[in-house]
Copies of this chain bind each other. A is one copy, B any other.
Amino acid sequence: MPKHTEIQQPLRGDISLHKVLHALSDPVRMEIVLKIARAGQVACGAFDIPMPKSTLSHHFKVLRESGVVASRREGNELINSLRFEDLQARFPGVLDAIIAAGS
């Protein structure tokens, strides 16, 4: 029975458009988002991006703090997903269009 630890993320109402756009304006983070969009659920370790772990961790932090990505702990890894419903509720169509454009 895996323990689920909640990670710090903004509430739906606190998600701001400019932070979301900033988060998505970085190519590495966009790549991360596209991969999550395709797979639904991806652990941090599953990204074979040639980059130190601390840098990658920074990008996940930006994605989380902007409200784009939700992460939950499962065992000793973090599973990432997109906050599709929250973003759709707050900024309808934005994430969909960006993901479609980025694919």
Residues in chain A within 8 A of chain B (CB atoms): 17-19, 21-22, 24-27, 30, 90-94, 96-98, 100-102
Contacts and interface: CB of A to CB of B under 8 A. Distances in A.
A27 to B, nearest CB: 6
18 contacts: A17-B30, A17-B98, A17-B101, A18-B25, A18-B26, A18-B30, A25-B25, A90-B101, A91-B97, A91-B98, A92-B97, A92-B100, A93-B93, A93-B96, A93-B100, A94-B94, A94-B97, A94-B98
Which 8 pairs, one residue from A and one from B, show the smallest C-beta to C-beta distance? A93-B97, A91-B101, A22-B25, A21-B25, A94-B97, A97-B97, A21-B21, A18-B25
A26 to B, nearest CB: 7
